[in-house]
């Protein structure tokens, strides 16, 4: 059906170009920023007075922190979701959940044991495997 609008001679070139433009328009976060989008990779953040804020930037299946340093006891997490789909902040083996719809934020509380290292992640299907994960180091 789209072929009817394409002349036979140049149809692959013209139609292919259109597909590339369409794909780019549908994936604004895929290549935006010209390579400067990963400046938050590997960031370590330290909880202050048992509280911390973790953010998912728009268009990224990532958290802005990959290592969180915290004291033993209660950790209050404010999770800010700037992405276009729902995500959450969870910690393996611990109760608690900070879940947020697109453009919103949520809070959750986790109880950390001294000397332990935990893995935090987004529990939505496949997100941890795609990079929504990091480490909580308890001092």
Residue ranges binding Cu ion (CB under 5 A): 87, 122, 124, 127, 132
The DSSP secondary structure of 15-40, one letter per residue, reads HHHHHHHHHHHH-TTTSGGGG-TTTT
- Residue 33 vs residues 17, 30, 118: alpha-carbon distances, Å: 22, 9, 32
Give the nearest distance from C-beta 92 to Cu ion in angstroms. 15
Give the nearest distance from C-beta 134 to Cu ion in angstroms. 13
Q: Which is nearer to Cu ion, 99 or 136 (CB)?
A: 99
Give the nearest distance from C-beta 104 to Cu ion in angstroms. 13
Q: Which is nearer to Cu ion, 52 or 138 (CB)?
A: 52
Q: Which is nearer to Cu ion, 95 or 101 (CB)?
A: 101
Under a CB-based contact definition with an 8 Å cutoff, are residues 95 and 120 in contact? no
């Amino acid at each position: 059906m789209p072929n009817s609008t394409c002349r036979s001679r140049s149809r692959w070139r013209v139609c292919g170009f259109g597909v590339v433009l369409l794909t780019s328009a549908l994936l604004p976060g895929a290549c935006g920023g010209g390579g400067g989008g990963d400046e938050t990779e590997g960031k370590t953040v330290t909880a202050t007075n048992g509280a911390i804020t973790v953010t998912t930037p728009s268009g990224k299946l990532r958290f802005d922190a990959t290592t969180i340093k915290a004291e033993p006891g209660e950790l209050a997490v404010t999770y800010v979701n700037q992405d276009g789909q729902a995500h959450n902040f969870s910690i393996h083996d611990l109760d608690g959940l900070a879940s947020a719809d697109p453009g919103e934020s949520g809070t959750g509380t986790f109880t950390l044991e001294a000397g332990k290292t935990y893995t935090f992640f987004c529990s939505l299907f496949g997100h941890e495997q795609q990079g929504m994960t990091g480490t909580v180091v308890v001092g």
